[in-house]
Structure 1
Amino acid sequence: MQRPRLKPPASIWKRIDSSPERLISLAALAVAFGALCVSLWQLDMAKQHNVLSVRPYLMVTPHLAGANGKNGLYLTNEGIGLGILTSLSVSVSGKVYAGLGKNQWPKILRDMGLEPLCFSIGWPTKVAALRPGMEIEILGKSKLFNSGCELALATFLTTKDVSIELRYTSLYEEEHTFSGDTFLNL
């Protein structure tokens, strides 16, 4: 039994060269493969663009505008994508109060020597989400606000050793962190 002979490469090219249909087919195959590669690259670039274009930017901002103004701590989403909270911690003089769900403000305020009834308080729940442009008051003045309470709010917002760390994710499950203090530089 004879073994099939391998044809030298020159004879293969001769055969391709002799048949224009084969040459056109190979060229079409190369163009299709190139188009597939470009399409996959564009798909990856579009996903990267979408991830960046819907990124949330959550932050906590202190406000002290006086008796009729906006006073307190506000949690805002300054980005253009939904931000999903995964953790919140407040540190006061090295002591950390952390977790979502259970309101930590009364304990924080008592430990600072401030009256919790002077404040309206809000602590985010587990897996809370903030849509773009949303602003939530997490610590503000109470409706029972009296002159002593005004001083308590000003004291809290001008205390230098209070810091907040906020961890959150985007819709694409990218993790982000905001770290800042509640100190209002007056």
Structure 2
Amino acid sequence: MILMTLTPSDVTAICATFIALLALVVSLVQLKIQRKHNQLSLRPYLNCNFRFDTAKPISFRVENKGQGVAIIKALVMVNLGKRKIIKNHFDMESAFLEAGIDLNKVSFSGSIPAREGYLMPGDSLTLIEFHESAKDTGLYKFLNEKLDPVHFEIEYECVYQKRYSTH
């Protein structure tokens, strides 16, 4: 009985409203999918590795192999299961001393990423490099033995505040 009281312009208006609501729902779903795609495509991926090559100095490098900026939250050195947060040069010296390496007695260089520092896609950072290890086989063997149980973990996040960690 209601259909009898509706005029053709009323039916047209109801259909237009229904189509507009469907378009709104489709747009919202598409927006959600696009945001998820952006999060996945702009994800940083940090690749961390010690380089134990006798022809080159022993070093620890971090590379951002992802497509997004990695915002560094924490740097942790793990030695025999014991975790030590590295915030500055003194923490680095202390952590290596606990591993049996006195950084004051070996030639090294490196940098500690600042908290909230960032690593752009394709960029790399050398945390530490022992210069003389490529030339001095005794030093190379000593460092290789002491650094065997050591690894670094980096906690970082993407621009969408999603947290990641290297293990």
Please give the TM-score of this superposition, normalised by the length of structure 1: 0.78
Which secondary structure does the structure 2 equivalent of 1:104 belong to? helix
Q: Which residue of 2 is the match for residue 118 of structure 1?
A: 107
**Larger Rg computed on CA atoms:** 1
Tell me which moved more, 78-87 or 116-125.
116-125
Q: Which residue of 2 is the match for residue 155 of structure 1?
A: 145
Greater relative contact order structure (CA < 8 Å, 6+ sep): 2
Tell me which moved more, 129-138 or 147-156.
147-156
Q: Deviations for 1:32-84, whole angstroms, at most 9, x for unmatched residues?
A: 111111011111111110010000011311112223x3631101111110000
Q: Is the 8 A contact 1:119 1:153 kept in 2?
A: no
Provide the rounded CA distance (Å) in 2 between the counterparts of 1:98 and 1:166. 10
Provide the rounded CA distance (Å) in 2 between the counterparts of 1:170 and 1:70. 31
Q: Does 1:94 align with 2:81?
A: yes
Q: Deviations for 1:3-27, whole angstroms, at most 9, x for unmatched residues?
A: xxxxxxx2x22111xx111111111
Provide the rounded CA distance (Å) in 2 between the counterparts of 1:123 and 1:138. 6
Amino acid at match of 2:9: E
Q: Which runs of 5+ in 1 are unaligned?
A: 1-9, 180-186
Provide the rounded CA distance (Å) in 1 between the counterparts of 2:152 and 2:65. 17
1:143 deviates by: 6.3
Q: Which residue of 2 is the match for residue 127 of structure 1?
A: 116
Please give the TM-score of this superposition, normalised by the length of structure 2: 0.86
Structure with greater proportional helix content: 2
Tell me which moved more, 20-29 or 47-56.
20-29
Aligned length: 164
Identity %: 25
Q: Which residue of 2 is the match for residue 15 of structure 1?
A: 5
Q: Which residue of 1 is the match for residue 92 of structure 2?
A: 105
Query: What is the CA RMSD across the aligned residues, in angstroms?
Result: 2.1
Q: Which runs of 5+ in 2 are unaligned?
A: none
1:87 deviates by: 1.1
